[in-house]
Structure 1
Amino acid sequence: MGIIEKAAELAEIIRRKKDLAVIAHADADGVAGAAISKFFLEKNDIEYELKFVDYLRKELLSEYKGKEVLFIDVGNGNIEEIERNRIEAIIVDHHLASKYFKNSLNPFHYGIDGGEEISASGLMHLITGENAEIALIGAAGDLQDRNGLKGWNRRILMKSGIIAKNDIKLYGRSLPLYRMLSFSPLIPPFFKNVGSVIRFLNELSIDEKKTWNELSMDEKRRLFSSIVKMMIMRGYEKDDIIKLYGEVYELDGIDLREIASGINAMAKYGEYSKAIYVCITGNYERMKEFINTHRKNIKMGIRFAKENLSEGMKIKYFHAGKKIKGSILGTVTGMLLEGEKIEKPVVGMVENEEEIKISARAPKNMNVNLSIAIRNAARATGGHGGGHKMAAGATIPKGYEEEFLRFFELEIANQSSIL
């Protein structure tokens, strides 16, 4: 049975339900997947309740003991606990699974890389056959568009109303130039340096308040070529420069990644209903206030993480306590890794009232599997974790941070010696 046949089988199972609990991940991909499920469930007159989570707690799963639950973008790392609670589950999750589960749509079972080729919302699209545009908002939210949409994401693109074109690959093409250039870690000399960006634009006689989309073709060429020359003169590699230009995606004239960022920001601040509304209606103006707050918190988080980064043998790490929101820890950790060009995995930790939340990110060219490493290290310290090869997360009890780091570093060292 292929993935399409399995998706059709799960669609029929869902259609036979009278009511269903839906538990989705609290990020852009989870929200997009939930929006697609909302369409499908309402179309088939199925009653449902919707809940968003950062991760699945054992206590939460026990509340759904014996109930029928659709898990979106979560569940693959919690199959044992789901079975222990006899939950009648359907799992739609693109992360690596802890074990096989019959009623799941897991891309890895079909030789499809869930880290790059399809997202959870993309899997929901395969089940429902609708909302291709929303599915790719989820993919962009998980940065699966970074090197161009590929695999099943590419197939979904062909069915959508999303425009693919070659352009500068910086986030914020609809923002003023000084903001677009200063917010991108792809141009390190400009990253978080607004004054430097404005001086650079003034030398080119380009208005810093214009957006990239408002520039003439001549202005775009002059600006882009000047950026390339500046990076070459400063010794940046060809690979660093190539990342600046390539295929980008727009929906209704707006950068798909900007939409995904807005949806993600709304989810991170608990505005799930509004986020779903934006997905469904395309009313992207509703996102702006959340994006501004989100960016401010990310910038503050990156600054703190950079100033408090510690060095291990195989990793770098920081513990932010309560100074960084757990909901943006993954974003901060990823942007720190990319912006500082760190060549080791980076581990970020924050605490909440009950436990420690952990996020790990690895450089693209590093041959490690963070999902396996973080899962094993978390289990060894009384927690749980999982994710993708290059991006993973975990939760552990308070007081076990140093022990977790030792186990995690040992896992990375063991993988490095084997690979």
Structure 2
Amino acid sequence: MNGLIITHGDADGVCSGAIAYNVFKDFHIVFSNPSDLPVTLRKISREYLKIIMSDIAINNFEEFKECICGLNCEITYIDHHPLPQEFDLNKLPVTFIHDENACASELMFKHLSRYLDPDMERIMLIGAVADYADDTLYVKEILSRWDKRSIYFEAGVLVNGLESFRKNDERKEEILRFLASGKPPSHHQGLIGAAFMNSFYEEEMRIRIKNSFKRIGKVSYVIDPKGPLGKAATYARSISGAIVGIAVSIEEKKADISIRTESNLIDLNLIVRNVASKYDGSGGGHRKAAGAKIPKDRLEEFLECFSKEVEEALKHLHISNG
């Protein structure tokens, strides 16, 4: 069949894509992200008979609907990110599989389980651990059949190793195909070496953040951490004691932003969607992990506004509970 797998390039996206590829071995593979998904969809050839999309949030429903409706093929969309408020499934010609309480790897595995090689359980578990989504009943049940320590080790290898190939779709595709065979990440020579080196780089980054973070109210941020933005945001939060940590990478005219919190009192997805749209950008994610892309000359305004929105959310919660 002439088909296509569109997935995110992080560990959960690669694992869910590998699970799909284990079944659909003749499908082409494309990596995308929430900001670039409309562009990706508009470039798709109409010759495809089936498209599987995984682990990519929908930032703008109307734009997404326009792109999807222009494709004359069978479409399956599998994701776990919060949906836009204006989302209307009845307007989409797709098979829609969505659950915010499970990772994309788990959802993909459940969807295709009857066709999968049994060893793909391990790839699903690795994706779940990598995405901090290993606490569902389904994952716990399957994890009981494996050694937890080995699964966590493999997830660490994949997460750290992929950081070296963040902008290299060709290498990520090769890794996805390797995982689709059921083999663990540590058996991939390129991944294990990259993971080893990146563990040193991460420690150097963590030490730098101690001396370079800045703080605005309840938000701590670091610019150009020279390392994984998600981890940098986590370290900025934990080292400073702030409620929210932000890490920013400046790339040409854009600021790529990663945001993390451990607080149950705020919803980063809602806040970043609102704030990013005010500054000609886009954003979204989960309650405790989100991201955004905005013009770099609006970054200072974005940070100030984001901090105020966090304060307002906490103040509103305090008033509501008062």
1:137 maps to a residue whose letter is I
Compute the displacement of 1:309 (Å). Answer: 1.3
Partners of 2:41 and 2:175 in 1: how far apart?
24
Partners of 1:276 and 1:124 in 2: how far apart?
14
Aligned to 1:19: 2
Aligned to 1:281: 183
Compute the displacement of 1:395 (Å). Answer: 0.6
**Residues 1:402 and 2:304 aligned together:** no
Q: Deviations 1:235-294 (Å, cap 9, x if unpaired)?
A: xxxxxxxxxxxxxx424xx73433443553455363213422442323624222111232
Partners of 2:161 and 2:110 in 1: how far apart?
21
Q: Which runs of 5+ in 2 are unaligned?
A: 318-322
After superposition, where does 1:219-234 map in structure 2 within 5 Å?
Answer: none
**Residues 1:361 and 2:265 aligned together:** no
Aligned to 2:30: 51
Q: Which moved more, 1:53-62 or 1:30-39?
A: 53-62
Partners of 2:140 and 2:60 in 1: how far apart?
29
Aligned to 1:77: 59
Aligned to 2:43: 63
Compute the displacement of 1:372 (Å). Answer: 0.8
Candidates 287, 295, 305, aligned match of 1:389: 287
What TM-score, normalized by structure 2, do the two folds share?
Answer: 0.81
**Residues 1:348 and 2:247 aligned together:** yes
The verdict on how the C-alpha distance between 1:157 and 1:359 changes in structure 2, with shifts beyond 3 A counting, is same
Aligned to 1:301: 205
Aligned to 1:137: 126
Partners of 1:255 and 1:300 in 2: how far apart?
21
Q: Deviations 1:323-368 (Å, cap 9, x if unpaired)?
A: 625xx21122123434x26232011111112411001111x24411
Question: Does structure 2 conserve the Cα–Cα contact (< 8 Å) formed by 1:378 and 1:385?
Answer: yes
Question: Does structure 1 conserve the Cα–Cα contact (< 8 Å) formed by 2:222 and 2:248?
Answer: yes
Q: Deviations 1:146-169 (Å, cap 9, x if unpaired)?
A: xxx3333224435xx4224xxxxx
Compute the displacement of 1:87 (Å). Answer: 4.9
Question: Does structure 1 conserve the Cα–Cα contact (< 8 Å) formed by 2:220 and 2:237?
Answer: no
**Residues 1:28 and 2:4 aligned together:** no
Compute the displacement of 1:54 (Å). Answer: 4.8
Q: Which runs of 5+ in 1 are unaligned?
A: 1-17, 165-248
After superposition, where does 1:330-345 map in structure 2 within 5 Å?
Answer: 330-338=230-238, 340=239, 342-345=241-244
**Structure (1 or 2) with the larger CA radius of gyration:** 1
2:58 maps to a residue whose letter is N
The verdict on how the C-alpha distance between 1:404 and 1:34 changes in structure 2, with shifts beyond 3 A counting, is same
Partners of 2:167 and 2:40 in 1: how far apart?
20
Partners of 1:137 and 1:29 in 2: how far apart?
8
Corresponding residue SS for 1:22: strand
The verdict on how the C-alpha distance between 1:79 and 1:264 changes in structure 2, with shifts beyond 3 A counting, is farther
Question: Does structure 2 conserve the Cα–Cα contact (< 8 Å) formed by 1:141 and 1:264?
Answer: no
Corresponding residue SS for 1:76: coil
Partners of 1:311 and 1:334 in 2: how far apart?
14
Compute the displacement of 1:300 (Å). Answer: 3.3
Corresponding residue SS for 2:27: strand
What TM-score, normalized by structure 1, do the two folds share?
Answer: 0.63
Question: Aligned pairs, how many?
Answer: 293
Partners of 1:388 and 1:75 in 2: how far apart?
10
Aligned to 2:78: 92
Q: Give the superposed CA RMSD.
A: 2.6
